[in-house]
Amino acid sequence: MITLAHYIILGAILFAIGIFGVITRRNAIGILMSLELIFNAVNINMVAFSRFLTPEGAYGELFTIFIITVAAAESVLGLAIILAIYRKRQVLNADEMNLMKW
Amino acid sequence: MDMTLLVNEFLITGIIVLLLLLDFMIKDKKEIIGVVFSALMFGMMLFVMFFNRKGILLGGAFVADGIAWFSKIIILAAAFLTGLMSVNTIKVSKKYTAAYYILLACSTLGLMFLVSSKELITLYVGLELATISLYALSAIYKNDDLSLEAGIKYIILGAVSSGILLYGLSLIYGVTRTTYLDGIMNYASTGLINPVFIMALIMTLLGVGFKLSMVPMHVWTPDVYQGAPTPVTAFISVASKAAGFVFALRLFAYMFIRLDYVWVPILSIIAFLTMTIGNLMAIPQKNVKRLLAYSTISQAGYILVGFVGASVIGISSVMFYLLAYTITNIAAFAVVAAFAKSTGSEELDDYAGLAQKEPLLALIFMFALLSLAGIPPLAGFVGKFFLFYAAMQRGYVWLVVAGALNSTVSLYYYLLVLRQMYLTDRKKELPKVVMPLGIKLTLLITMIAIFVLGLMPGPVLDMTTEIAQKLFLK
């Protein structure tokens, strides 16, 4: 029997992996992918809460649809900026994007 | 349902469509779009000021109350002044001029939704509409390395913080089983608080802290402020921050008001760190925009002091300070934009001897910086006075003392700038600073506002006090 706790633990693990990825990835595209993991962790949480706790309303599902849309917009913009930087400076690693410090 | 409450947002949407159409119709003189944008934003500001209807819409998800009304005026004023400042100073190609103003209008729309919403989904969508437009705006100089770098840093750190915020919101939803702030407040008032809820509260605080450039989440601020086009920096530093503070007010002074024993100690320490780190980091800066960025971090710290006294006087002083801070910061950034437009430099050393060459510009910059430092009789002084007074009433004397000491530190680096302008001789020859009409108007309006707010703060303070009282009546 799969209970609410299973989903929440899955969400928490996914969130932790996402945060770990954002911190450790050097490649900017890898960072964007880790960000998607964070958003998906939230989505799992939302849908699970909605299914188990408020089956009469669909607030969680509604929230998830908005999160997916916004995350897509964010990745598109992020990729566009990464592409522009790559064309200009041939740099893809986040730690080389360091023209400004302190 | 009274749909007329949404009229401001509908009108802004109409303005966005109108700007798109203008982009098709105007072929050569793209500056006209900027002028139209500024004029329409000014019109909207007057409209919001006089069309002051209160009410609740969509089952409590959208609310038009005093705080929303006041902050919409601040946001529209910031959009108007930013537009005015941009007309002659932005260097985007003809193809993208309209896009610049449309993104600015989209961001304004998102911020207006953000300050009006009392439901988590609406809040989130408003927040993201505003920030995604700002991500694009800060990277709009796509041939400028610094602008692109500002864009990528802003988007990655912004997305991480909104991920943390969302995780916090999902936990809040799981614990309280509702996404309406009123329902969450009912839960938080019962006194049966579980640890998950406290964790959610802290994650939400961290997520909101990004917008406010609160200290653990402030690392993006200097880089984005330096790299982004100067008018965009001005807009991020005032409008987006003002909306962030209104969001924080709704969360902490309204929704979690009964949990103040949890967040007031945390927030007071964060306020202290934000002020101190912002001020200390500003001292060695050589780039004026970077210096102003650290100064805005410390300003956010002062505003958080007002939160600590989450009382009527605290909220009213936060609202007042947001207004004073908005006009002052826009004045400072307008000077930087005018200087950079003519000389192509943002370095502090190049400001040497400005007072001999451009006495008026130097004088205006001096007034703006002194107002940020909180010198009477300028607007910043009154605002800071009431912020500290509010914290004093709640017994946070150590925080007030720290705030006063910090003001002294900030005065030191503002005076460094003044020394460059007034007492140092110019080392190299720079072109004369030409002030286009847009910049002149921006500076004129902000200067009048700084002195009016500083000398006669009474009417505005009465207004903010009334707004704050109404928030607590319910």
pLDDT tens digits along B292-307: 999 999 999 999 888 8
The reply to whether A101 falls in a domain is no
Count of CB atoms within 10 A of residue B74's CB?
Answer: 24
CA–CA separation, B345 and A76 (whole Å): 33
Collect all residues with Cβ–Cβ distance below 8 Å to B444 and sequence separation of at least 6: none
The ipTM assigned to this model is: 0.95
Q: Say what percent of chain B tops pLDDT 90.
A: 37
With 60 as the cut, is the pLDDT of residue B253 above it? yes
Q: Say what percent of chain A tops pLDDT 70.
A: 99
More reliable by pLDDT, B358 or B132: B132
Quick one: pLDDT band at residue B165, thresholds 50, 70, 90? very high
Mean pLDDT over each residue of chain B, to the nearest integer: 88
Q: Which two tokens stand for residue B47?
A: 């409209």
Which has the closest alpha carbon to B129: A66, A13, A46, A61? A66
pLDDT of residue B434: 80
Helices and strands of chain B, counted as H and E runs? 20, 2
CA–CA separation, B245 and B70 (whole Å): 12
Residue spans of the domains in chain B: they are 259-474
Quick one: pLDDT band at residue A102, thresholds 50, 70, 90? low
- Model confidence over A16-69: pLDDT tens digits? 999 999 999 889 999 999 999 999 999 999 999 998 888 888 888 999 999 999
A 14-73 residues with CB < 8 A to B: 15, 18-19, 22, 28, 31-32, 35, 38-39, 41-42, 45-46, 49, 53-54, 59-60, 62-63, 66-67, 70, 73
Count of CB atoms within 10 A of residue B94's CB?
Answer: 13
The partner residue sitting opposite B152, judged by closest CB among A39, A66, A81, is: A81
Region B336-352 average pLDDT: 86
Which has the closest alpha carbon to B243: B330, B114, B136? B114
With 90 as the cut, is the pLDDT of residue B17 above it? yes
Torsion of CA B62, B66, B68, B74, to 10 degrees: 160
Residues of B in contact with A78 (CB under 8 A): 152, 155-156, 159
DSSP B99-153: HHHHHHHHHHHHHHHHHHB-BHHHHHHHHHHHHHHHHHHHT--TT-HHHHHHHHH
The reply to whether A14 falls in a domain is yes
Number of domains in chain A: 1
Residues of B in contact with A97 (CB under 8 A): 149, 152-153
CA–CA separation, B90 and B124 (whole Å): 30
Measure Cα distances from B329 to B22, B254, B264, B450 in Å.
30, 28, 28, 10
- Model confidence over A57-93: pLDDT tens digits? 888 899 999 999 999 999 999 999 999 999 988 888 8
By CB atoms closer than 10 A (0-12, 13-18, 19+), residue B263 is buried
The partner residue sitting opposite A99, judged by closest CB among B135, B146, B173, is: B146
pLDDT of residue A81: 92
Q: Which two tokens stand for residue B324?
A: 């004073």
Expressed as residue numbers, the domain containing A54 is: 4-89
- Model confidence over B386-411: pLDDT tens digits? 888 888 888 888 888 998 899 999 99
Quick one: pLDDT band at residue B447, thresholds 50, 70, 90? very high
Contact B171 A99 (CB under 8 A): no
With 80 as the cut, is the pLDDT of residue B84 above it? yes
pLDDT of residue B233: 93
Contact B167 A54 (CB under 8 A): no
pLDDT of residue B158: 92
Quick one: pLDDT band at residue B79, thresholds 50, 70, 90? very high
Contact A74 B159 (CB under 8 A): yes
With 60 as the cut, is the pLDDT of residue B474 above it? no
Q: Say yes or no: A85 contacts chain B, CB-CB below 8 A.
A: yes
Q: Which two tokens stand for residue B49?
A: 């000021």
Which has the closest alpha carbon to B211: B138, B268, B145, B131? B131
Contact A82 B166 (CB under 8 A): no
Contact B136 A77 (CB under 8 A): yes
pLDDT of residue B310: 63
The reply to whether A52 falls in a domain is yes
pLDDT of residue B309: 67
The pTM of this model reads 0.93
CB B212 within 8 A of CB B305: no
CATH code: domain of residue A51: 1.10.287.3510
The partner residue sitting opposite B170, judged by closest CB among A42, A85, A94, is: A42
Collect all residues with Cβ–Cβ distance below 8 Å to B48 and sequence separation of at least 6: B8, B69, B72, B73, B76
CA–CA separation, A50 and A45 (whole Å): 8
The partner residue sitting opposite B223, judged by closest CB among A41, A77, A100, is: A100
With 80 as the cut, is the pLDDT of residue A101 above it? no
Residues of B in contact with A31 (CB under 8 A): 156
Angle, helices B220-227/B288-308, rounded to nearest 10 degrees: 140
The partner residue sitting opposite B148, judged by closest CB among A53, A59, A84, is: A84
CB A37 within 8 A of CB A14: yes
With 90 as the cut, is the pLDDT of residue B77 above it? yes
Which secondary-structure segment (H or E) carries B82? helix B66-89
Contact A39 B227 (CB under 8 A): no
Quick one: pLDDT band at residue B436, thresholds 50, 70, 90? confident
pLDDT of residue B179: 86
Region B332-348 average pLDDT: 87
CA–CA separation, B326 and B58 (whole Å): 31
